Structure 1
């Protein structure tokens, strides 16, 4: 069996994140399109956070082991992954966080992509502080009082304002607009990557230093450090329609999968497998933690999960 996936994912794992048919239903080629009977090359976008890496590890491992596919991963930002669906370099995005604007462009407009159903993961994005801060400063979880605490969060990188720590600059976020529109005395500073963001929250809890920052789940860190979410003005449909005027919390997401239309229309068994694939936040966190904290390679972490959950993934097979 090929091991290209493990080789392609090693840098990512060390650094770290169609249709409505029911489970088990095969994707078939439309009339006039030749049916693909075997699995050829599958190009998977690999976005830079550990949960996504866990998705790629398990899906890629099973595509290789069970369907004899050749899996090629492409380390791309979220936006670049969608462009890959258009130029043919990407066949599938395994974890999509909303992006209604990109769906409108590539699915409704250019018709080069299609939805492949839900991953089963529940996504929550928001503002978080380490748990020690809530005990010491009970009012810190009220966003209306954040300006009272701005001086606590000043750093050499934030100047005269409080620091709001973001992660990877390629993540699509609302934080700068939220700070502006909620009239908060903070500025966004980038940690640079998910790993560095995680390390900052770990240090903040261990050393009892103030930290306010962007975070999300599913994420394995939350089983170790129970970060506390600061609710912002509640999300309502459409409140984030204008990126410059956003003044509401992030939308809760049922994460989904996006496929290149030509790849799905080929009737590839890989497309059927990916559409059938669903798992839980706990599944993803288990694999991600093994890859980032327990010294397992992507292939080793995927095999360990697959060996323990055969009853789950057998249902994904075409």
Structure 2
């Protein structure tokens, strides 16, 4: 779920190294920099949305310039990232939106992964319409009235139904089950990536057209295209336990970091630093906006943030 601005995800959850010369297939080998004896290297999993990119860019900059580490980055889908972390192919995941099955398998049962603490940001997925449409049709913000507007949300891709636009099929989504179980006259249409979804949202907004989209907070696009959330049935603990029977909204999720268990024990200052790293939604959005909207490189965006927030990041550096 969330904001994809880096290169397209490799098929089947393959890992793709983002540092060094060229790209290497990481499906059958460990990162060349992970767990190298005596080497001051750290390998971080990079999810494909821009918020997660920001979560890696700032630690990478500080690990490199303040602690003297080489940082390798590996791009991988959300669930396969847990496998890679368990196997030591990456050392840390810096933003996770909640995967109970993986947590049970790798943290409780296998004990190959350990929690790295709160990221400091609370994530929330939901359905959104443009605020300019919600102001004209206030009742559209109640899911019970969505069928009333299905014709206005129809596109060539959705056929005779309204379109609910999602990003990548790899994102955490309950939308197909929600549409079916709530009896909605809508078709889930995947844009293919966050970048493609952002492009479509901007095009709709430029033309002042109505649209219904899966989206998430925190996300910098809200500053460019104001959107209003559609209220789905209230979330209650356990209401999403059976993916096929879901009829409730997405929860508000305190985003988490996770470390490879061996790295957490033996990773020295790098492991302690990553555990200490904790910032706010405003911090993340500041860096993400520079990357996605102002087209700065993650490294330059991180440097800009670090130079402006010295008092904050100094507390993360192990003594």
- TM-score for both structures, normalised by structure 1: 0.87
Give the conservation status (yes or no) of the 8 Å contact 2:167–2:190. yes
SS of aligned partner of 2:226? coil
Find the aligned partners of 1:315 and 1:39 in 2 and give their Cα distance.
25
Contact in 2 for aligned 1:39/1:268 (Cα 8 Å): no
Q: 1:296 & 1:171 partners in 2: Cα distance? A: 25
Structure 2 segments unaligned to the other structure (5+ residues)? 10-35
2:258 is the alignment partner of 1:253: no
1:111 aligns with 2:111: yes
| Residues 1:188 and 2:181 are matched in the alignment | no
Match of 1:5 in 2: none
* SS state at 1:67 partner: coil
User: In the alignment, what sits opposite 1:27?
Assistant: none
* Distance of 2:299 and 2:7 partners within structure 1: 13
Deviates more, 1:36-45 or 1:154-163: 36-45
Indicate the larger mover: 157-166 or 38-47.
38-47
Higher mean C-alpha deviation, range 133-142 or range 274-283: 133-142
Q: Following TM superposition, by how much is the alpha carbon of 1:170 offset from its aligned partner in structure 2, in angstroms?
A: 1.1
Match of 2:130 in 1: 130
TM-superposed deviation, 1:276: 0.4
Task: Map 1:195-234 onto structure 2 (within 5 A).
Answer: 195-234=195-234
Shift of 1:162: 1.1
Number of the residue aligned with 2:310: 310
Q: Structure 1 stretches of 5 or more lacking a match?
A: 1-10, 17-35
- State the match for 2:144 in structure 1: 144
Correspondence list, 1:235-246, <5 A: 235-246=235-246
Please identify, of 38-47 and 112-121, the stretch whose mean Cα deviation from structure 2 is larger.
Answer: 38-47
SS in 1 for 2:123: strand
Counterpart in the other structure of 2:99: 99
> Residues 222 and 15 (structure 1 numbering): CA distance in 2 closer, same or farther, change over 3 Å?
farther
Aligned to 1:50: 50
Q: Deviations over 1:244-272 (max 9, x none)?
A: 11110001011110111011011421110
Deviation at 1:189, TM superposition (A): 0.5
Counterpart position of 2:166: 166
State the distance in 2 between where 1:93 and 1:259 align.
Answer: 6
Give CA-to-partner distance per residue, 1:106-141, whole Å, 9 cap, x none.
111221101111011111110001111112222211
Higher RCO (CA < 8 A, seq sep 6+): 1
Contact 1:177 1:246 in 2 (8 A): yes
The whole-number CA distance in structure 2 between the counterparts of 1:266 and 1:149 is 56
Separation (CA, whole Å) in 1 of partners of 2:186 and 2:41: 47
Secondary structure of the 1:240 match is coil
CA drift at 1:14: 7.1
Distance in structure 2 (CA, Å) of the matches to 1:14 and 1:193: 10
Query: Residue 286 and residue 85 in structure 1: after superposition, are their counterparts in 2 closer, same or farther (change >3 A)?
Result: same
Map 1:17-96; keep pairs closer than 5 Å. Answer: 40-96=40-96
Deviation at 1:155, TM superposition (A): 1.3
* Residues in 2 aligned to 1:272 and 1:184: alpha-carbon distance in whole angstroms: 48
- Look up the SS of the partner of 2:249 in the other structure: coil
Distance 1:156 1:267 in 2: 52
> Deviation at 1:295?
2.7
Give the match for residue 292 of structure 1.
292
Deviation at 1:104, TM superposition (A): 0.9
Following superposition, the deviation at residue 12 of structure 1 comes to 5.2
**1:101 CA drift (Å):** 1.7
Shift of 1:293: 1.6
Deviations 1:211-251 (A, max 9, x none): 10110111111122221011100111111111111110001
